A = this chain, B = another copy of it.
Amino acid sequence: MMRRYQVVRNQTLALIRGLSAEDCCAQSMPEASPTKWHLAHTTWFFETFVLEKYEKGFMPFNPQFRVLFNSYYESVGPIPSRPDRGLMTRPSLQEILDYRGHVDERMLVLMTSPMMEEDLITRIEWGLQHEQQHQELILSDIKHLLFQNPLRPPYRPGFSNRDAPPHQPPLAQPIEWFEHEGGLAKVGAPSEGFYFDNEAPRHTVWLEPFKLCHRLVTNQEFRAFIDDGGYEDPRLWLSEGWAECKKRELRHPLYWQKVDQQWLEFTLEGNQPLNPIAPVLHVSYFEADAFARWAGYRLSTEFEWEQIVTRERFGEPEISAIREDLIPLLPAVEKNMGFSGFFRLGWQWTQSSYAPYPGYRPLEGALGEYNGKFMINQQVLRGGSCATPLTHTRVSYRNFYPAASRWAFSAIRLASSL
């Protein structure tokens, strides 16, 4: 546990290498947060949900931080205005790093105890899983921030040159399908191992026969949709998606730019020529759904997805292969097309709305606000992306975003009824 704690916490710090204090302070939109805020809030989480309960003679590092870095836990106390997180130039980045170090020391002391209560262990694991979620958010948010800069600065130059794809990337290949004959199926987290409350309880669903595509939609395929007038044909779109298109004058995925007749894509390495065989990323649910309709298919449900991944055992080899490497191989992954793409190439929008499973019970206390209160007007995404820590991927994992969101590393996998 102690080792995992250190690895995960250090991993967060590794993400800010090369970022200035200025980079870490700015907030590009209300939905995104400054890097510094992520660094502080994840620390606040351990202080509030672990130390305050289990540390003898608990004293907060700084009583003001108890309020400043509360994200949305109404039960804990007042919450600063979310869109103003970028205005908190104080405390400084260095003070936040001190805060992290301070809490880490106290956490490590706590973890030396030979007999940790079950509840304590659970809370620490929640804290680590929470931190890993924010690791991905750090990358999503900093990418969005840097994109607002007319200079289009890279997050980390030369980020993905570390290794080459191991073999012929499947995204360049013709589409193949995993078929499923339907029937009763078990979904949701199995009882062992960590899972969030929203992945439980494991329960039964009935599936009709369907098939699921063996790879993600590529940039090249999405260009064909654009070239065919996909953004101008209302019949392809959900009504709300069409209104969004018109209002925001959408014409392409979030980070694409057409410069001198050439398509560029803003990446963590800065602007790059659009890679035709890379998965199309940063599309909204509306775009994913319209693309699928245009292609004659549909998006899968979250349970169809889960069944195929379970049956084909994609979750296991992918994850085990890299289990020794607890630090996400972010650079490698971005160019590496060697995986099936279920977990490492992009979160896959599903047509399932984010709803509680039958018999769902949120945790007791303030942690009960972690997931349950967001179960409305969001769509479930499954899998993982190049920005997802590898030890944070699970077959039963449910990511979720509003249908219009585009700044997550979201992708498209096609499905069809049989």
Contact = CB atoms under 8 A, between A and B. Distances in A.
Interface residues of A, number: 68
Given A25-B26, A240-B377, A150 B417 contact: no
Contacts of A84: 148
A375 to B, nearest CB: 7
Interface stretch (A109-117, A212-220, A231-239): A231-239
Contacts of A210: 358
> SS class of chain A's interface: helix, strand, loop or mixed?
mixed
Given A64-B151, A150-B67, A351-B356, A375 B238 contact: yes
Interface stretch (A172-180, A201-209, A328-336, A383-391): A201-209
A90 interface: yes
18 contacts: A20-B92, A21-B22, A22-B90, A22-B93, A23-B90, A25-B25, A25-B26, A25-B89, A26-B87, A68-B151, A74-B234, A90-B151, A184-B206, A208-B359, A237-B373, A238-B375, A240-B376, A242-B373
A86 B86 contact: yes
A24 to B, nearest CB: 8
What's the number of copies of this chain in the assembled complex?
A: 4
A146 B373 CA distance: 33
B26 A145 contact: no
Interface in A63-79: 64, 67-68, 72, 74-75
Interface in A221-258: 234-235, 237-242
Interface of A: 20-26, 28, 36, 64, 67-68, 72, 74-75, 80, 84, 86-93, 145-146, 148-151, 153, 184, 203-208, 210, 234-235, 237-242, 285-286, 289, 351-353, 355-356, 358-359, 368-369, 373-377, 379, 403, 417
Given A206-B206, A351-B356, A238 B25 contact: no
Contacts of A74: 234-235, 242
A88 B205 contact: no
Nearest to A369: B235
A36 B26 CA distance: 13
Closest 8 CB pairs of A and B: A353-B353, A74-B234, A208-B358, A22-B89, A22-B25, A239-B373, A87-B148, A23-B89
A20 B67 contact: no
A208 B206 CA distance: 12
Given A151-B90, A241-B376, A377-B403, A355 B359 contact: no
Contacts of A67: 150
A22 to B, nearest CB: 4
Given A234-B74, A235-B74, A235-B75, A149 B208 contact: no
A359 B93 contact: no
A82 to B, nearest CB: 10
